[in-house]
Structure 1
Amino acid sequence: MRNLILLPLALFIAIFCSAASAQTPTSFSQAKRLLEKHIYPTQEYRETFYCGCSYSGEKQVDAASCGYTPRKNAKRGKRIEWEHVVPASRFGKTRACWTDGNSACVTKKGKAYKGRRCCSKVDPEFKRMEADLHNLVPAVGELNGDRSNYRMAVISGEERTYGACDFEIDSKNKLAEPMAATRGDIARIYFYMQSTYNMPLSDAEMEMFTGWMSKDPVSEDEQLRDARILEIQGNSNVLISVGF
């Protein structure tokens, strides 16, 4: 196996891929189709991000494969959904279409709307961020719903509410704690979104994510996923992980 390392942050955000792109997604719906067909095409690659559960080509979760038990929503827990690791509200809430709406964001009944729905319709930059494959992972539907747009954090004294799945939620403080094996992946995605779209991170987040990357270096699976994404998205995106 190759010796995989993580480049220093200042260097990895400066490296751009040069692959030709023929299928760069321009909408969230298109991104989901590309993920299913090209990024997680076979059973070998189909594993949920937060729990490590296997799932089928029909997006059905094998709960026994990871010891996951539903907290409340068993129906949603049976399927995978495409989760934005960096929530759409994080990169959308400061945009005019999100806060104020747009003249084009009106229903057939004449009711104006705003937020994500409006931005997905009228804002090309938002649509590019929403469809960015680096920020999308397969997650158990219940966890996707429970995580909502909560910030990533380490929660002390948390309860385990999803069986053997090591994922915790603090609804009161709007925090989510992922298992240690995914924390480096999450950190690199946040830094990627920061460098690609000028999305600000707080000093506390910078410190936490830097620590997470150090404790959870790039794996071969992560590198191969990035390589498959780069083949599709081409030179509009920063390389996340590099192996030597």
Structure 2
Amino acid sequence: MKKLFAALSFALLIISPAFANPPSTFSEAKVIAKQKVYLDQASGAFGELYCGCKWTWVGKSGGRIDAESCGLKARKQETRAERTEWEHIVPAWTFGNQRQCWQAGGREHCVDEDPVFRAMEANLFNLYPSVGEVNGDRSNYNYGMASGVAPQYGQCKTRVDFDQRAAEPRDEVKGLVARTTFYMFDRYKLNMSRQQQQLLMAWDKQYPVSAWEKERDKRIASIMGHSNPFVTGDRHWIQGYKVVGDGVVSAVSPKASRVASKAVLDSPAAPAGSVLGNRNSHVYHLAAGCPGYTQVAAKNQVSFASESEAQAAGYRRAGNCK
């Protein structure tokens, strides 16, 4: 009876209306991911991402690895190998480096200035508990083959090729990380190399969607408001796939939307065409005072009724405007 009650309670938490909106920050995302996605997975058969280890939750979103459950042995950092960390399957460096904010000031600047980056950083589909040391060793490397690398973490099957800057995850998650990568690149209009596409398409085909991956997708969809279409089968990545960019404009926090809406109401609309955005750089220019206004290629132009509207869409004012 206690197990049934716990299961029902967890199910109610998963569909609770209080979590119908996506998290707006990475810190918030970690807490929600623990409570609503992975709470019952710490002792589950699938385990954490890279080694399949079980773990014990500690604090709001942390955890302590059960090394015996997966035959884990630290490579160098014993303390870090003992704890769970939240891995961005697509590293923050990878998606941040394709944002204008990153070029202007790195991750901190993106967190402060770019609502789309904040949405990417807090996207629950892209987060997974992992062994801290393996997470750190993976760094911002792309996923790849590391067939020439000997086991590094005891019985853990994930391997990191430091020379080639590539990480090969265990077979059990290769399909999951491939479909998650497709989702992130598709949703946020990121550029992927041909070589990376070919590898991930192979993993997608070789390692089909598991029962847990489907369940994970349902849990996250109840919070994010949408599923990963590469898990549900609504989209399929092929060579030369044209990314959609569903989350580029809509990924604005509710608070930011309210502030922007109030600003639009409080200020007069700008003349049509006087605020021009560049859909590639997500920078906007004013007809008066911005030298770049006449330099935006026609195919990249996005017109806004006001600066507030541009900002609400995730654009920022060009730095050379007077």
Normalising by the smaller structure, the TM-score range is 0.7 to 0.9
Give 1:242's aligned amino acid: T
Correspondence list, 1:39-54, <5 A? 39-42=37-40, 43-45=42-44, 47-54=47-54
Distance 1:44 1:234 in 2: 27
Task: Name the counterpart of 1:11.
Answer: none
Deviations 1:134-174 (A, max 9, x none): 01000000011110001110123111110000111111221
Superposed counterparts of 1:1-244, under 5 Å: 22-42=20-40, 43-45=42-44, 47-58=47-58, 59-100=63-104, 114-235=105-226, 238-242=228-232
Show the counterpart of 2:296: none
Partner SS state of residue 119, structure 1: helix
Which residue identity is paired with 1:239?
P
TM-score by length of 2: 0.63
| Shift, 1:175, TM fit | 0.9
**CA offsets 1:77-134 (integer angstroms, 9 cap, x no match):** 111000001001111113222111xxxxxxxxxxxxx211111121100000111000
**Cα shift at 1:181:** 1.3
Contact kept, 8 Å, 2:98 with 2:190, in 1: the verdict is: no
Structure with the higher fraction of residues in helix conformation: 2
Question: Distance between the aligned counterparts of 1:221 and 1:213, measured in 2?
Answer: 15
Unaligned runs of 5+ in 2: 1-16, 234-322
Distance 1:26 1:170 in 2: 34
Determine the C-alpha separation between the residues in 1 that align with 2:228 and 2:148.
37
Which residue identity is paired with 1:212?
A: W
1:57 shift after superposition: 1.7
1:195, 1:238 → 2: CA distance? 10
Task: Output the aligned Cα RMSD.
Answer: 1.8
Answer yes or no: is the 8 Å Cα contact 1:226–1:240 preserved in 2: no
Aligned equivalents of 2:34 and 2:183: distance in 1?
A: 22
Radius of gyration: which is bigger?
Answer: 2
Structure 2 Cα separation of the partners of residues 222 and 233 of structure 1: 16
The one-letter amino acid of 2:199's match is M
Encode CA deviations 1:172-202: one digit per residue, 9 max, x unaligned.
2211111111111111011101211111111
Distance 1:239 1:210 in 2: 15
* Mapped partners of 1:141, 1:36: distance in 2: 16
- Return structure 1 stretches of 4+ with deviation > 6 angstroms: none
- Is the 8 Å Cα contact of residues 196 and 238 (structure 1) preserved in structure 2? no
Query: How far is the alpha carbon of 1:44 from its aligned partner?
Result: 4.6
SS of equivalent residue, structure 1 residue 81? strand
> In the alignment, is the contact (CA less than 8 A) between 2:43 and 2:54 conserved in 1?
no
Is the CA contact (8 Å cut-off) linking 1:133 and 1:229 kept in structure 2? Answer: yes
TM-score for the superposition, normalised by structure 1: 0.82
C-alpha contact 1:183 1:212 (8 A) present in aligned 2 = yes
* Alignment coverage as a number of residue pairs: 211
For 1:33 and 1:173, how far apart are their aligned partners in 2?
Answer: 34
Give, in angstroms, the shift of residue 37 of structure 1.
0.6
SS in 2 for 1:90: helix
**Bigger CA drift: 195-204 or 132-141?**
195-204
* Deviation (angstroms), 1:240: 3.7
Whichever residue aligns with residue 135 of structure 2, its letter is N
CA contact (8 A) 2:82 2:132 kept: yes
Note the residue ranges of structure 1 that are not aligned, 5 or more in a row: 1-19, 101-113
